[in-house]
Structure 1
């Protein structure tokens, strides 16, 4: 089911073709996995957070979300660069949803109670590639910090 997405992501000519809604969600999940792995500590807590985010985004079950995350983990491990995920997502989703992707990335990055320079750098890169401003990204981060009961910073 997800092999087609993987071949588009890894094709020699870069991303091609349009994405189905499920493929778009798997590409988003791959970005979430990438941010969770950015600090070299991909935990069960982060995986569970990704599952909840995916389930909430499209009203699917936790089991379906975990299946998408599992596929995304394989895709993320195989894909050499973040830009390919981001280009596919930008072509497929509206700006409001792209801002939600950044909020989800912050949610995953902050799920362990801290943020690293690698996580911040990756989110900043993805934000720019998705057309989300630094200010909007910071606002999304602040929303997550408030929801988690942490001080905004």
Structure 2
């Protein structure tokens, strides 16, 4: 009986995370994932920060945020162009939303305790595509 149970466990396919819609919410999540992965590491502190940000930004519970992050990871992997993700995000959002999103990108870039140049480059590409001035982006990086 134990062998049958083990055989069933090994034959089961892992659950498939569906591809999310290419909307502003998922594009932001994908950009957050991209910033976290930019230094070629994807640490628990960064994942935790992304989940926390998604919870706050979209009024999700922790499970919903983790599920959304999983979808955003899939979108991030499927869309190699950072500017394209940012252009999806830009469509139909306010300046205040853009600034909230930039703050979120900066928070993820510092989540592991080190802001790497590669993470800063991804933020710069995204904010350029969003049409934000360099000075404003810098002010959002280190708010007073």
In the superposition, the TM-score normalised over structure 1's length comes to: 0.78
Whole-Å separation in 2 of the counterparts to 1:56 and 1:132: 23
Residue 132 of structure 1 and its aligned partner are, at CA, apart by 1.4
Task: Please state if 1:3 is matched with 2:3.
Answer: no
Residue 78 of structure 1 and its aligned partner are, at CA, apart by 1.5
**Computing the radius of gyration over CA atoms, which structure comes out larger, 1 or 2?**
2
**Higher relative contact order at CA 8 Å, sep ≥6: structure 1 or structure 2?**
2
Provide runs of 4+ in structure 1 moved above 2 Å: 1-6
* Unaligned 5+ runs, structure 2: 1-16
Structure 1 segment 118-137 matched on structure 2, within 5 A? 118-137=118-137
Residue 57 of structure 1 and its aligned partner are, at CA, apart by 0.7
Do the aligned partners of residues 98 and 2 (structure 1) sit closer, same or farther apart at CA in structure 2, a change above 3 Å counting?
Answer: farther
Whole-Å separation in 2 of the counterparts to 1:116 and 1:99: 21
Residue 33 of structure 1 and its aligned partner are, at CA, apart by 0.1
Structure 1 segment 3-152 matched on structure 2, within 5 A? 3=19, 5=21, 23-143=23-143
- Aligned-pair RMSD on alpha carbons? 1.7
Aligned pair count reads: 128
Aligned 8 A contact 2:127 2:137 in 1? yes
Do the aligned partners of residues 52 and 4 (structure 1) sit closer, same or farther apart at CA in structure 2, a change above 3 Å counting?
Answer: closer
Residue 2 of structure 1 and its aligned partner are, at CA, apart by 5.5
Aligned 8 A contact 2:19 2:71 in 1? no
* Unaligned 5+ runs, structure 1: 7-22, 147-153
